[in-house]
Structure 1
Amino acid sequence: MLGDAWLWVAVEWSPLAHMEFYARDGFDTPTVVALLGAALAKAALLWLILRAPAPGPLDRRAKALRRLLYLVVANSLVLWYPIALLPDAVDAAFQLTLWTAIDVLYLLVIRWRSRLLRAVAGAVFAVELAGMANELLDELDLPELGSSDVVVWGLMASGVAATILTVVGQWRDGRWSRGTLAAGWLSVGVYALVIALNLLSGRIYSGHLAMLVMMDAVGLVSTVWIAATARELPVEGRPADPPPARRRVIRVAVAAVAVLPVIAMIHPEEAAHLTYTHGSTDCYARPSFGDLKPAERDAAFLCRARSREGGGSPMFPDSVSDQAILAYGRALCRAKDSDEQEAILARAGSKRSAGAAGPWDLVYVCPEIVGATHPELLRSAAETEAAYTAYIAGENAKCRDPWPRTKGVVQATAKYFLFADGDHGYLVQDPEDEAADELAEQAMDKVYDDSSLIGVAGSAVLVGHVADVIDLCLTVKAFRAAPPRRTAGWDQVNEVPIVSRSGRLTVPYMGEGGEVGAGAPMPNLAIAGKGRYRLRAYVRVDDAGEEQHLVVVFPGASGKRVKLKP
């Protein structure tokens, strides 16, 4: 009657801070139904929480435990909101302090009737408190006790174990009623449900408000158990057991909480089973086929099939099950041509073309087919690196020094790999010049100013290639004085000025895994340190269409461009 915001506040006891994100156009029907159902459930649970404490004498420890447990109840109902306005580290420190005191008092107040059980409970409580301490360290940006998944899940499981042991201790003590013990076991079921939802986040939760409302109402069961534990602390005057009919209802409720989450996670065989979505963190890396065990290859393909890398649509939508995607993948492997692949993708509901099903993805599901035409895709990362290194070394070995008898102070010969589509040439530059990037762009703009195809801009010279090639053989040499011109056998020879402001002049190195640059590290050609130099570029194309370059650098103050040939 009063609107969605009032309905939320009345049921959830908090303002809807993120309504613009969750329900910009108002609550949908499932959320309204969930809120109305939660209102009834929370009203009943709140009546159980607010029942008056049982009469009877308490010793000093029991009184302290009762006060602390009621503080937990108050925090769960009211105090959590103002505490949430404080830094997260304050909340983490408050929870650690509070539960440290409660766990110690549990060990002292509950009559465990077994030293071994008390010792086990103390060990589990210590692990639970270590988890809280780990969270506090994280909030304070201090080194954590552990951040691996095993540690995180171990600490989470310790909270469930601590609740189980506390309920067992209450049962052995004898002062707590069956209703309180039932609330404790229900709390264990709630923890199990939360863990299950965390494990399956993104497939069950999906951020829907109805799920948030239901989990908030179910979570109040733990508060009922804590309040009942505080209420029934007196040794004398133990409340009478509930009548048989109520006990049966309690048993059914406990069984439902324990069994229904398991049943909910079991899907019919024909339903879509989804292991990964496009947002799964396990899918960020792309492992090499040769590094995967056979059991891991299907998972790698599922990650690739659901990937939105580059901002595009996935190969298959999330509505298609893992089993169906693997079947479609093997069908794509057997397709005769791209038209058949495109028909398979369309049948699966894919929004991508046949080109999306490349051999680098399909190799994970049909290595015997892809490997016949692309054996390199079957390699491990180490094998790929070794093959790449061998390839670069082989390409470098094809290049020869065109002036073998004229030794420079420093020199090197290597294959220079160009960008396949539209690379202008290669740079000789001072990489430590503060304006290196700007000067490189200026040199690139000037490379086509005349037929020499050499752009000059201060400490950067871009030498263009004359043939339509994707790589060329490059030799660089540095001399202390100008060497003989020796233009015979070359198609073009040009000399231009270049400056070194830091005492370095070099050609970019491609490096490991690179695509553009020299196949081997190039030396520093500024052998005289900072100052002005002359750069002479020799260029020729042989009968096989291979392009060769020789770059000679030597000190020189002239700022003129000289065309020596043609």
Structure 2
Amino acid sequence: MGLVLGDAWLWAAVTWTPPDYAGFYARGGFDTSTTAALLVAALVKAALLWLILRAPVPGALDRREKALRRLLYLAVAYGLVLWYPIGLLPDVVGVVFQLALGIAIDVFYLLVIRWRSRVLRAAAGVLFAVELAGMANELLDELDLPEFGSGGIVELGLMLGGAAAIIVTVIGQWRDGRWSQGTLVAGWLSVGISALVIPLNILFGGIFSGTVVMPVVMDAAGLISIVWIAATARELPTESLPVDLPPRRRRMMRVGVAAVAVLPIISQIHPEQTAHLTYTGWSMDCYDRPSFGDLKPAERNAVFLCRARSTDGGVLPMFPEDLSDQAVLAYGRALCRAKDRGEQEAILTRAGSARPGWGADPWDLVYVCPEIVGATHPDLLRSSTQTEEANTAYVDEQNAKCRDPWPRTKGVVQATANYFLFVDGDPGYLVHDPGDKAGDKASERAMDRVYDDDSADIGVGGSAVLVGHIEDVSDVCLTVKAFRTAPPRRTAGWYQVTEVPIVSRSGRLTVPEMGEGGDVGAGAPMPNLAIRGKGRYRLRVYVRLSDAGEEHLVVVFPGASRATLKLKRGRGPY
């Protein structure tokens, strides 16, 4: 009937799901391979369903065994039918149902199965707990509560715990003696199915990626676990122990179990020419860029693959997306050995790069050839801690070069430090009120006035003053002092001295400091220069050049005047 009515009904007949599901897996209709897989799966599932629906073995059961049989048949019913109506309810309902059913079955397994070993029973309890922890972790996720752990390692560990729980249960059934060889084989096959699902789900982004044949195969194979659960419930009575199978049939079953256990592992081994893609430009693991010194040797290639395929910021990746990991690493090492940018461009062109003219930067190549890059850029080999320590030492060294130009005139508050500027195009530094709600607009006005007037070395914007530098420098020695009254002018020895108004609306006036990981700002803490709180102040800026470089002295004191005074103007080259 499914073949006659169309793809949707064929899908429903074989997978036992609503016809609408077919459109989700194959919007353009089924190809020949999918139809063939569905027909084969139909025969396999019919045979497995016949095994599931076999009548229970007659015999007396105690209360615990009766309870376990009912729970197991409830699990069978859920796997065959109940999953769909429960799935129509909120997701948390289904997770709670599965968790409660799993807890009850595991408890009765421990009570009913004759383990014949305290160690085995204890091991079963531990593995059952791990299995239930995986289900509880899923419940916490549904409830938006903190989980036991995040990431692929935790997920893989919980899934392996579930597979190990099946293994120890089958061993317990074998030691008990009441279950037949067929039931034990179904249990071992269930372990094989779990071993097949784990690599497909973890390593390849889910079993439903790629062709539609894969979910069809996995749907049919998944029925084996229900066969095992149903057979476990059917053979609970102890009066009729199973008869041993003939040796030839036992050997065939062992071969089948070994094949199911080994084939999933063999299927993951690819020939060298097959493109193995660990990361793409959209991989979530690639957003962080760890320092080389923080990585173990085994992790460095993965970081280079991330950098080589990165599309962060909308840029084109260094290599094509379909180029294998092996090829990317080989081209990366070739880029390390390139003598110049032109040779790098030739290598990237040969690799099919969309941006060969960009070449490759040392901070990307260091992950794949540290011995080459480290010879010319040793700083790239540092860990994040070493980099932080080196930056701190450099800032301290630069600060130590700066001296207070008015050492005998002490301010109420004062500080001396190196002020680091942008290397290219930085107009200067701000003295501003960081608590002013309109501080951004005030800073923009101050900057506009410097750019609009080429002769202006200071831009005033109310609660912000932009102080420019007179030479093309990357930093200046800056001293700030605050006084209660106007100090003497003392213009001698200075190239230029300018006094302007500034207002504090929040009771603060200061100079920006270098933030965490930032490259711009004062290299040491700067004090609050608004020593009388809110109000109007005068700001006097002294500028000169010396052996230490460009020196600035900023003096702040209360004052209501709004005039701009040029107390000394620089003349000619200094």
1:20/1:539 CA distance change after superposition, 3 Å: farther
1:472/1:116 CA distance change after superposition, 3 Å: closer
Q: Tell me the percent identity.
A: 74
User: Residues 317-364 of structure 1, C-alpha deviation per residue, up to 9 Å, x if partnerless?
Assistant: 343334333322221122121111111112222223253411112223
User: Residues 250-303 of structure 1, C-alpha deviation per residue, up to 9 Å, x if partnerless?
Assistant: 555433321211211122244344454445555444333334454544444334
1:337/1:15 CA distance change after superposition, 3 Å: farther
Partner of residue 415, structure 1? 418
Kept in 2: contact 1:467–1:545 (CA 8 A): no
Partner of residue 464, structure 2? 460
Partner of residue 504, structure 1? 508
1:504/1:417 CA distance change after superposition, 3 Å: same
Measure, in 2, the Cα distance between the counterparts of 1:144 and 1:234. 40
Partner of residue 191, structure 2? 188
User: Residues 473-516 of structure 1, C-alpha deviation per residue, up to 9 Å, x if partnerless?
Assistant: 32222111112233344444332222212211101001342111
Kept in 1: contact 2:401–2:548 (CA 8 A): no
Instruction: Give the partner amino acid of 1:74.
Output: A
Measure, in 2, the Cα distance between the counterparts of 1:84 and 1:133. 18
Measure, in 2, the Cα distance between the counterparts of 1:74 and 1:33. 28
Measure, in 1, the Cα distance between the counterparts of 2:521 and 2:10. 65
Measure, in 2, the Cα distance between the counterparts of 1:215 and 1:347. 41
User: Residues 500-535 of structure 1, C-alpha deviation per residue, up to 9 Å, x if partnerless?
Assistant: 122111010013421111122211110111111112
1:454/1:160 CA distance change after superposition, 3 Å: same
Measure, in 2, the Cα distance between the counterparts of 1:444 and 1:21. 57
Instruction: Give the partner amino acid of 1:401.
Output: D
Kept in 2: contact 1:452–1:494 (CA 8 A): no
Instruction: Give the partner amino acid of 1:59.
Output: D
- 1:102 to partner: Cα distance: 1.2
User: Residues 375-416 of structure 1, C-alpha deviation per residue, up to 9 Å, x if partnerless?
Assistant: 222333333222222222232233333333332222222222
Kept in 2: contact 1:537–1:550 (CA 8 A): yes
Equivalent position to 1:519, from 515, 520, 523 = 523
Residue 161 (str. 1) matches residue 161 (str. 2)? no
The farther-off stretch of 521-530 and 38-47 is: 38-47
TM-score normalised by length of structure 2: 0.87
Q: Which consecutive unaligned segments of at least 5 residues does structure 1 have?
A: none
Kept in 2: contact 1:363–1:370 (CA 8 A): yes
1:492/1:154 CA distance change after superposition, 3 Å: same
- 1:449 to partner: Cα distance: 4.0
Equivalent position to 2:398, from 380, 383, 395 = 395
Kept in 2: contact 1:272–1:319 (CA 8 A): yes
Measure, in 2, the Cα distance between the counterparts of 1:506 and 1:18. 64
Kept in 1: contact 2:197–2:207 (CA 8 A): no
Equivalent position to 2:269, from 263, 266, 270 = 266
Equivalent position to 2:557, from 547, 551, 554 = 554
- 1:114 to partner: Cα distance: 4.2
Partner of residue 182, structure 2? 179
Kept in 2: contact 1:448–1:454 (CA 8 A): no
1:299/1:559 CA distance change after superposition, 3 Å: same
Alignment of 1:325-344 (within 5 A): 325-344=328-347
Partner of residue 406, structure 1? 409
1:409/1:128 CA distance change after superposition, 3 Å: same
- 1:74 to partner: Cα distance: 1.5
Kept in 1: contact 2:418–2:478 (CA 8 A): yes
TM-score normalised by length of structure 1: 0.88
Residue 83 (str. 1) matches residue 93 (str. 2)? no
Partner of residue 121, structure 1? 124
Measure, in 1, the Cα distance between the counterparts of 2:59 and 2:481. 98
Equivalent position to 1:366, from 369, 372, 377 = 369
1:268/1:150 CA distance change after superposition, 3 Å: closer
Secondary structure in structure 1 of the residue aligned to 2:451: coil
1:196/1:452 CA distance change after superposition, 3 Å: same
- 1:226 to partner: Cα distance: 0.9
Residue 530 (str. 1) matches residue 534 (str. 2)? yes
Alignment of 1:26-425 (within 5 A): 26-27=29-30, 31-142=34-145, 144-145=147-148, 152-202=155-205, 206=209, 208-236=211-239, 250-280=253-283, 282-425=285-428
Aligned-CA RMSD value: 3.3
- 1:556 to partner: Cα distance: 1.2
The farther-off stretch of 529-538 and 360-369 is: 360-369
Instruction: Give the partner amino acid of 1:469.
Output: V
Measure, in 1, the Cα distance between the counterparts of 2:168 and 2:26. 41
Measure, in 2, the Cα distance between the counterparts of 1:304 and 1:392. 30
Measure, in 1, the Cα distance between the counterparts of 2:293 and 2:126. 44
Residue 446 (str. 1) matches residue 445 (str. 2)? no
- 1:429 to partner: Cα distance: 1.1
- 1:31 to partner: Cα distance: 4.5
Partner of residue 469, structure 1? 473
Q: Which consecutive unaligned segments of at least 5 residues does structure 2 have?
A: 570-574
Measure, in 2, the Cα distance between the counterparts of 1:438 and 1:234. 84
User: Residues 427-458 of structure 1, C-alpha deviation per residue, up to 9 Å, x if partnerless?
Assistant: 11111222223332333233334332433333
Instruction: Give the partner amino acid of 1:423.
Output: D
1:81/1:494 CA distance change after superposition, 3 Å: farther
Measure, in 2, the Cα distance between the counterparts of 1:539 and 1:468. 14
Secondary structure in structure 2 of the residue aligned to 1:448: helix
Measure, in 2, the Cα distance between the counterparts of 1:429 and 1:503. 11
Measure, in 1, the Cα distance between the counterparts of 2:12 and 2:447. 64
The farther-off stretch of 202-211 and 108-117 is: 202-211
Equivalent position to 1:436, from 415, 419, 439 = 439
The farther-off stretch of 130-139 and 509-518 is: 130-139
Instruction: Give the partner amino acid of 1:228.
Output: A
Partner of residue 480, structure 1? 484
How many residue pairs match? The answer is 565
Measure, in 2, the Cα distance between the counterparts of 1:301 and 1:467. 40
Partner of residue 13, structure 1? 16
- 1:245 to partner: Cα distance: 8.6
